[in-house]
Structure 1
């Protein structure tokens, strides 16, 4: 029923192009004659470095209780999911300091950083960071300043930058073969330490026709004749993901008088302030259906795989830009900007669905978008969005996490991680 209602709504209001991405499903044996990893295609994989673990005790100071905004988000997710609130609170102690540090680590040490996450029930007992090499004395000293204990798991086969480049190469190569590939996506499995390449073939495409296509994608991902990490190939024929299509974040953006998307966080670019939204949204957007408030000629990333665009606030008529965004019945002021760690709680606001929360299941993925591809995508465990939410803010407490991209109906939502704003738009989210 929900899928039918979503389809009917999309016929009434245009929300953007269809986005086809693969789901974060468990690995399954490849059917027929499709081989199941890079080695089976005869593609060489770089040897992984030696692995180990370093445990660092955090000695930094942190508030005894989480701030009110973060507690509201955790309480909202606990009620929706049935999870124990006290366990969520324990797992998120020091979350803002930890996520700010791991985001900085990814920016300043891109050849070392891989992934980061928070403890979950039945899993990790401490905040964790996965790296390619053993942490230096400088990094250990920085970790000691955090208010949480950290487990550094070194010896990962590839850095976050190499993984992002590999995912981009794989999906770009498959996107060029729309004659046999309907959808494809690539994301790193930090537990198995492999890249998962998921695909769905077009109609009755013969299995024998897919071998050379996938081989070509694997070859495109090599550097110096080797892949930086092994690639596992998985078939995924599940339902597709679709986009859901004083200036503040979380407000309605319209075109031709109809709601199309949701404004995200506000930002500064090239000396101008304005608002972010999804790149897949139309250009000629009006803020709250009012002309002359934001530019109808947005700035887009040079890399068209990044789902962000920036609309400058037009100040000639006295318009200004606030650091606030919508979160439920309140406006919050951004006080931090950081990518979300794995398994951390994250919430969003969209003009169609309002305020809701989930947890992060996968980060920094690339997925094909009906012959195109989006990258820098984070996935959640639940689908908490709908058509018209595109571009809206994702956050935890007062920390900006990303902008809404889309969802697979009834399964999960997708947002573009906030770190891509600075890297690809040369913009900075406004914050106190």
Structure 2
């Protein structure tokens, strides 16, 4: 937001500067060089003496009056041959000189003027040019004055613009904070602006949108929560009925069918549990942060894994230390990733963690078939499963990785999948070191 207004002020300043140059070149094109006009004003006294005192003298007194001016003026007056002066001037200046006009050289603080066009002053006066040097011309002073005018105009424009923009900036800051809070999961966040604010209509539309989203999310969570709880009652009844039926069944084939049905019920129970977990993660303020020993938490996750034939290795860097997180959620994330690796690993699973300057990185590697690059973002979508997992051997509902990513994002971190050095998949969790950056 600050950058937006900084760019706005820079645009105003550049516009004023560009306008100044456009005005200068336009006036130079239409009315002549402004610097020459400044020089003529500053040398007005010397030009007046030349035109109204020296030039008004009769022919036999012209040199006498010129010498009188030389004695009292700090300006140096010389007579130069017309041919030499022509070589010093450009075409436009030569034309002015030929018709008897005063030609001003601002950079040299000098002027040129033909003594006489007809030779009446003295013999050969039509071939002489009066050259005045050391004129009291100070362009630098005039440029400083112009710069001061420019600064005053810029301030006169920028101050009201700044006052006008300040209210808009504060209103946009309020909208920005509301958007940040809403994006962080605080769905009740709203922009509080006065009706007089110019962005009030926009804020009203954003608030209406936020309210609608909050209603939809609340309805979704309520439906998911209600359906999940309602499913548990018939599932519990079915489990109880199957236990009674199994106790009375003597037919081995019937027992196998009952066992398969019990497996289906367990899957339904697991699905309901994961749906409820998803619903809780979608609710704001679910994190219960506490300072935990990260190394101990990761080792506990490995210890609670179900027995398997894979070799599970832990590699932790020095100085892992503690971290302020929701220990239950983080343990759920790591357990989900480890169980997922167990499903697909051929023989090895590696859990590694290290603390770096950018935060903490936790990685789970396996030597399984890996995940195609085109599917790596999709595996975090709810209910998305790769083709090879759509059987009873691997099971799953496609919710574990989605729950893991939601939990990591709530902590202000990221979860991504890469290719492992073991040949399979590598899931990398990055968490910020401090809780301030987790918000």
TM-score of the superposed pair, with normalisation by structure 1: 0.21
Greater relative contact order (CA < 8 Å, ≥ 6 in sequence): 1
- Bigger fraction of residues in strand: 1
- Bigger fraction of residues in helix: 2
TM-score of the superposed pair, with normalisation by structure 2: 0.21
- Flag the structure with larger Rg: 2
